[in-house]
Amino acid sequence: MSKRKVALVTGGSRGIGRGICLELGRAGYDVVVNYATRPDAADEVVEEIDKAGGCAVAVGGSVAVAEDRAVLLAKTLDRFGRIDVLVNNAGITSQGRKDILKATEESWDVVFGTNLKGPFFLTQLVANEMVREIGEKSIAGGKIVNISSISAHTISLNRADYCMTKTAIGTMTKLYAQRLAEFGIGVFEICPGVIESDMTAGVKEKYDRLIAEGLWPIRRWGRPDDVAKAVLAVVSDSFPFSTGDCINVDGGFHIRTL
Ligand SMILES: NC(=O)c1ccc[n+]([C@@H]2O[C@H](COP(=O)([O-])OP(=O)(O)OC[C@H]3O[C@@H](n4cnc5c(N)ncnc54)[C@H](OP(=O)(O)O)[C@@H]3O)[C@@H](O)[C@H]2O)c1
């Protein structure tokens, strides 16, 4: 069994998840870099962590698929023998970004499967394992971090399914926080604003303009490492008397101004 804490990051191959993997790897966590379709990108993250003196492994599988979730946990335990941290980061945007009056069930199913059903049941699986490990004193406690979005509280009419999954992640965070506190497992939501990644590459010009106009007070794009620093703070016990909280990493976008 690894002597170091072990973190499983879903969607760790690119964007925000990649930033979280690198930050946790540099901070001394053993990291499981999950990916869905891009083993090349996941391997590159593993290499970078190795070069920095850390230890990581890439594991493929879709969070939306029950068998893949089981394999993800099994491979984590095979490789490292424990799990201390789960970061539910993997997520996709609305398919085709269609107006709510034209939105499709196909997009709904795939977005809800990846953004909500996947994290909910992966959390259930991992939480049961953490409870078992805490019971046998092989780990002292656990942390679960859910990556939601400003779309949890700010609607986009062309991404209804996406927005609803992100609102539900907030409720899921509170549900698991309540249930798992007695075991010493803290559950948190991180709510990023607009962050540079492949997901936002297609809307870069729009956001460049909105940022220049001052849509949020800190006038720049968010970066994956902005989110990663918040995740590290949460998992490294900087908030020992907190659980179920949401931390905004959005340049102040959530502030209402009159
Ligand atoms: N970018 C933003 O502005 C922003 C803002 C707020 C919240 N978020 C949230 O932050 C998270 C990451 O977003 P991002 O911008 O980094 O996205 P991204 O650049 O598109 O990267 C998505 C990552 O998720 C993985 N993934 C996709 N579907 C998966 C599945 N079914 N199972 C496992 N992994 C899967 C991808 O793996 P492959 O590489 O294998 O495809 C990739 O690593 C998402 O939950 C997103 O909703 C993003």
Q: Give pLDDT tens digits for 89-99.
A: 999 999 999 99
Q: Is residue 157 part of a domain?
A: yes
CA dist 6 and 21 (Å) reads: 11
Give the tens place of pLDDT for each residue, 188-215: 999 999 999 999 999 999 999 999 999 9
For residue 179, tell me if it sits in a domain. yes
- 126, 76 Cβ separation under 8 angstroms: no
Q: What CATH number corresponds to the domain at position 80?
A: 3.40.50.720
Contact indicator for 123, 142 with CB cutoff of 8 Å: no
pLDDT band at residue 159 using 50, 70 and 90 as cut-offs: very high
In the DSSP assignment, the letter for residue 184 is T
Cα–Cα distance between 156 and 153 in angstroms, integer?
10
pLDDT digits (tens, 9 = 90+) for 163-192: 999 999 999 999 999 999 999 999 999 999
Tokens of 249: 């990493």
- Tell me the per-residue pLDDT of 122-131, one tens digit each, with 9 for 90 and over: 999 999 999 9
Buried b (16+ CB within 10 A) or exposed e, 223-258: ebbbbbebbbebbeeeeeeebbebbbbbbebeeeee
Q: Is residue 132 part of a domain?
A: yes
DSSP single-letter state for residue 248: E
Number of domains observed in the structure of the chain:
1
Q: Which of 35, 162, 176, 207 is an active site residue?
A: 162
Is 162 labeled as catalytic in the residue annotation?
Answer: yes
Q: What is the mean pLDDT of residues 209-232?
A: 97
pLDDT tens digits for 48-76? 999 999 999 999 999 999 999 999 999 99
Whole-number Å distance between alpha carbons of 77 and 83: 7
Range of the domain at 100: 6-248
Pocket of ligand 1, candidates 16, 38, 173, 195: which has the most ligand atoms within 8 Å of its Cβ, to mutate? Answer: 16
pLDDT of residue 229: 98
88, 82, 230, 226: which is closest to 145 by C-alpha? 88
Asked if residue 254 is part of any domain, the answer here is no
**Which residues line the pocket of ligand 1, CB cutoff 6 A?**
10-11, 13-17, 34-38, 41, 62-64, 89-92, 114, 147, 149, 192, 194-195, 197-200
How far, in Å, from the CA of 88 to the mean position of ligand 1?
A: 10
Q: What is the secondary structure of 119-131 as a DSSP string?
A: HHHHHHHHHHHHH
Task: Indicate whether 28 belongs to any domain.
Answer: yes
C-alpha of 197 from chain center:
14
- Specify the pLDDT at position 252: 98
Which sign, positive or negative, has the C-alpha torsion 186, 189, 192, 197? positive
Which residues fall within 8 angstroms of residue 116, CB to CB, at 6 or more apart? 165, 168, 169, 172
Tell me if 258 is assigned to some domain: no
To test the pocket of ligand 1, the residue of 33, 34, 35, 165 to mutate (highest count of ligand atoms within 8 Å of its CB) is 35
In a domain, residue 124? The reply is: yes
Asked, for residue 18, whether it belongs to a domain, the answer is yes
